[in-house]
Amino acid sequence: MTVSRLGVLFATGAAAFAIAGCNKAATTNDANASGNETAAANGAAPADPVASAESAAPASLAKNASIVTADASGKMTELRKGTNGWTCMPDSPTTPGPDPMCFDANAGKWITAMLNHKPPPEGVVGMMYMLEGGTDASNSDPYATTPTADNDWVKTGPHVMVVGSKELLAGYPSGAKPDTSVPYVMWAGTPYAHLMVPVKSGG
């Protein structure tokens, strides 16, 4: 996940939600899925943003989550108010691949800290779902926006992220060039190190 994608989260009010993410959601039908994939490939907003957002997490979670979108200026629009403390966002048309995500309130606090270049709150463990996969990102520089010869760009398929727990990371591989088919530590050695756990894509 790149800082540009996190920037969208910040702009859409992740901080506000934090203070007060393996199957596609039941509302996602084949037509919507096809439309959303085509939109992502063309750099356009998903045809059905709710279905796109819900595809990021298990249906049982996503169906009760808040759904938010952001325009190019960062203006937030809440498409649906949730009841379970989770927030889901559809694929961002500004990123190269499909990357809808759902996150809990604790992960929202972690995101806010990162975007403000501040240490994440201690003892606040959060969860994020990205069951459609994620935009390629640097595994060593949380703020990288494009690949370079030395910033360890990685490609990640469907996964969940556990953030906010240094203790949880012990024993997992944390090299610059990880095997993304197994759990690994992203951004090791930074305050934003977190566990990436690959999962099977939804059906």
pLDDT tens string 5-46: 554 444 434 433 332 322 223 333 333 444 444 444 444 556
Tell me the DSSP string of 25-80: -TT--HHHHHHHHHHHHHT---SSHHHHHHTTS-HHHHTTSEEEEE-TT--EEEEE
d(CA 14, CA 49): 17
Q: Which residues of 112-144 are buried (b: 16+ CB within 10 A; e: fewer)?
A: bbbbeeeebeeebbbbbbbbbbbbbbbbbbbbb
pLDDT of residue 179: 86
| pLDDT over 70 (residue 113) | yes
CB count, 10 Å around CB of 47?
A: 17
d(CA 82, CA 85): 7
pLDDT of residue 45: 58
- pTM score: 0.74
Do 87 and 14 meet the contact criterion of CB atoms below 8 Å apart? yes
Of 23-32, 72-81, 144-153, which gets the smallest average pLDDT?
A: 23-32
Give residue 139's pLDDT band: very low, low, confident or very high (50, 70, 90): confident
Strand order in the sheet with 66-70: 76-80, 66-70, 87-89, 101-103, 126-130, 159-163, 194-198, 184-186
Stronger pLDDT, 55 or 47, i.e. the higher one: 55
d(CA 25, CA 136): 24
